[in-house]
Amino acid sequence: MFEFMNITKALADENRIRILMALNGQEELCVCQLIDMLQLAPSTVSKHLFILRSARLVLGRKEGRWMYYRLNADNASAPVKGALKWIIQSIAEDPLVKEDQTNLTGILSDSSILKCGA
């Protein structure tokens, strides 16, 4: 029950859903890329990622001073896999998700943005 409650709490915020949808289809993203996409304060994005990580919906890794996140789709529990699948199927065509995908494509292709240690 505890895992289920953590997942539902994590899914109760639009920006956390946007983060999950941004990570969908990406190997991983740096926190700075998510900050650029969401146009939120770094501390706010970090808090959202902490909640998603606590619910085991995302995995993080540190490389130097940079944090990278990806969906926890491979070795996750059944509730986590089910939640991720449900979210992705339910709102893949949402206009805000589409706009985020367009913005993220621009962020990832902008070679002048080298602040993520690339």
pLDDT in tens, 17-55: 999 999 998 999 999 999 999 999 999 999 999 999 999
Query: Is 12 inside any structural domain?
Result: yes
Query: Is 111 inside any structural domain?
Result: no
What burial class does residue 91 get, using C-beta atoms within 10 Å of its C-beta: 0-12 exposed, 13-18 middle, 19+ buried?
A: middle
Query: Is 114 inside any structural domain?
Result: no
> Which neighbouring-strand residues pair with 67?
62
What gap in Å lies between CA 66 and CA 36, rounded to an integer? 15
Query: Is 86 inside any structural domain?
Result: yes
117: confidence class by pLDDT, cuts 50, 70, 90: low
- E strands, 1-111, are 29-30, 58-63, 66-71
User: What pLDDT does residue 22 have?
Assistant: 96
Residue 65 predicted with pLDDT over 80: yes
Domain count, the chain: 1
Query: Is 113 inside any structural domain?
Result: no
Number of Cβ within a 10 Å radius of residue 107: 19
Question: What CATH number is given to the structural domain containing 24?
Answer: 1.10.10.10
| pLDDT over 70 percentage in the chain | 93
User: What pLDDT does residue 94 have?
Assistant: 95
Phi/psi of residue 72, nearest 5 degrees:
-95, 70
Number of Cβ within a 10 Å radius of residue 74: 8
Query: Is 118 inside any structural domain?
Result: no
What gap in Å lies between CA 44 and CA 88, rounded to an integer? 23
Query: Is 64 inside any structural domain?
Result: yes
Residue 73 predicted with pLDDT over 60: yes
Query: Is 115 inside any structural domain?
Result: no
Which residues lie below 8 Å from residue 86, measured CB to CB, with a gap of 6+?
none
Domain encompassing residue 23: 2-103
